[in-house]
Amino acid sequence: MSVVCPPASLSAVQSRIDEIADQAGVQGTARLSVDDTLAALPWPFRRRLVLALQSLKAFSPDPGVRDAAEFF
């Protein structure tokens, strides 16, 4: 069974990933895909992203955002 995430929910989670990548100083060329962005994150920022995704899964009032956080 696959879950279909609404585009707005995926965008909300992608924005959070981009925000953390900005904080980490990850350059645009290393952010061509989500996999590339995650690989370019230094360990402390990767951990911060994991915590942010867990927080979205646990506390978001929007079920689409919870599903999107689970997807990432």
What gap in Å lies between CA 2 and CA 43, rounded to an integer? 30
Consecutive 10-residue averages of pLDDT for the chain (72 residues):
80 94 94 92 96 95 93 86
Q: Cα separations (Å) of 66 from 18, 25, 26, 41, 50?
A: 18, 27, 25, 22, 13
SS3 state of residue 3: coil
| pLDDT attached to residue 18 | 94
**pTM, two decimal places:** 0.87
